[in-house]
Amino acid sequence: MADMEPAYCRPQSLREKIGQLIVTGFPGTSVTEELEALVRDWKVGNIILFAHNAENKTQLARLCGDLHRLVESGTGCPALISIDQEGGRVTRLPRDAVNVPGAMAIAAAGDPSGALTAGRITAAELRALGINFNLAPVLDINNNKRNPVINVRSYGDTAETVAEYGVQALRGLRNGGVLAALKHFPGHGDTEVDSHLGLPSSGKSLADLEALELLPFRVAIADGAEAVMIAHMMFPNIEPRRVPATMSSVIVGDLLKGKLGYEGLVVSDCLEMDAVKKYFGTAQGALGALKAGIHLLFVSHTPSLVRETVEVIEQAVQSGELPMETLDAALDKVLYYKGKYASGAEAPPLTVVGCETHRKEAAAISDASICVVSGSLDPLRPEETRTLFVGSLPYRTDQASSRVAGDLSFPDVMADRLGGGRMLVGIDPVEAEIDSVLREAERYDRVMYGLFNGSDNPGQLEVVRRLVAAGKRVTAVALGKPYDLEALEGIDCGLAAFEYTALSLDSVARVLSGKVRPAGRIGNVWHR
């Protein structure tokens, strides 16, 4: 492994070694003084980017160049620059880049090569921007419809679907020269708690995980997966110490590295998430993660927590609580992957980012993903303008999701593209709004409602039910969780689009106009 390390990079001091194991982020679209200090004084060697760092592709490429130079001059080693670019609702790249559809939409299109294409597009655009580490694909199985944080980020509710599509996405990223992290081991799909906000716990046994959750990870590891992210979830029937998998040597060491034979890079989820920060403390969580066998630690937002984390690890090594051999093993692993992915391989030109070829490929996947879940679709005729489009603005459903586009509106996009009326309502319409929609709908022959997680905002479902009861022809379009459609009876048509993005709205408009036939299949996600 040592022959893959950058020849000039071999940290010697304890702080230099620890800094190579830390990933942090920063606010804004340019390098901050606090980040410079973390790199210069605390030897932090890796960066994570979020949507707030990306204004446009030119600015982002310039920023990544500055980050690479900052880390290399401050630590003597190249940087892993990471990002959560899953596609769909978890996308960090700016609008002039191509943000591909999300996992469930890709699987609904029914062609695993779409996952390969999405991975290839993403890898090319990331590398052109200077980003070498993507925290994707998601290999969680969404076998719990009430999951608040995974749901449409998963390829589906069966191990076979998740494995088939996840491995194709992995190959697309890897073949494109980007390090890719499977997440969230050993499986975050069957929970009703968001680990950003609480500490999920699963009563599953090892045999339970073996029968379902571990299957996609096994397949991807056999295919050469090089990075795995550990979930902030407790499994008390596997790890009795009441700590999350992040801090469990049983799950990281015995299960992932031992039973599954995994030899690659192991990374934490963000240690500032409440599942760790609230219950254990970020710094102590980081120390526990290193003890458990994790190599790379994400402290993604707060400089003071980065400094505290470095100090806690330093003290643990000096006291003998954390063996130097454990620290050096983690360092060797990080340096190996820096040598492979962060050492100056020629990147594609910036013109690749947002290019027409990528846009057409992403649009084709998106078009193919739209599903008729119930009823049948009667496309709008060109002369038909007596249609009312109703919906709310999107919102950030969880902390994993990207910031929403404030100017994105289902009613406006559809009315502008297709003609007809438009009506914007609140995300959870109250009685007065419901009455307003019913009165306005009297002037129209058809109503098309853009649902956005109606199961969490039942006023949306009530509007649709009342429209149906009033005798209106209603088409409901699920722009988030497709499970919303399960609760509706009597509608003309239920369409699943999986995500509230400009790309998905373009596809919905083409489907409603009859230009695209909705050929997606939702059988691997939900059977009515």
Catalytic residues: 196, 269
Tokens at 329, concatenated: 């093993």
Residues 6+ apart with CB under 8 A from 259: none
H or E, element range at 253 = none
Token look-up 């096994």 returns 218
**Which phi-psi region, left, alpha or beta, contains residue 420 (left: φ > 0; alpha: ψ -120 to 50)?**
left
Tokens at 370, concatenated: 């739209």
Cα–Cα nearest to 84, from 148, 151, 35, 134 = 134
Do residues 193 and 200 make contact, with C-beta atoms less than 8 angstroms apart? yes
Tokens at 501, concatenated: 């993005």
Alpha-carbon distances of 36 from 10, 267, 389, 524, rounded to whole Å: 21, 23, 49, 47
Cα–Cα nearest to 295, from 321, 256, 238 = 256
Cα–Cα nearest to 411, from 423, 395, 394, 401 = 423
Pairing of strands 371-375, 387-391: unpaired
Give the residues across from 82 on adjacent strands.
48, 133
Alpha-carbon distances of 360 from 331, 497, 501, rounded to whole Å: 41, 18, 16
Give the alpha-carbon dihedral of 29, 30, 32, 36, to 10 degrees. 130
Give the alpha-carbon dihedral of 327, 331, 332, 337, to 10 degrees. 150
Taking the C-alpha atoms of residue 451 and residue 42, their distance in angstroms, rounded to an integer, is 47
Strands (E), 429-523: 446-451, 473-478, 493-496
Residues 6+ apart with CB under 8 A from 41: none
Taking the C-alpha atoms of residue 104 and residue 113, their distance in angstroms, rounded to an integer, is 14
Alpha-carbon distances of 190 from 206, 403, 517, rounded to whole Å: 14, 25, 33
Neighbours of 396 (CB within 10 A): 11
Tokens at 397, concatenated: 């459903």
Pairing of strands 493-496, 371-375: antiparallel
Residue type, 441: A
Residue type, 87: G
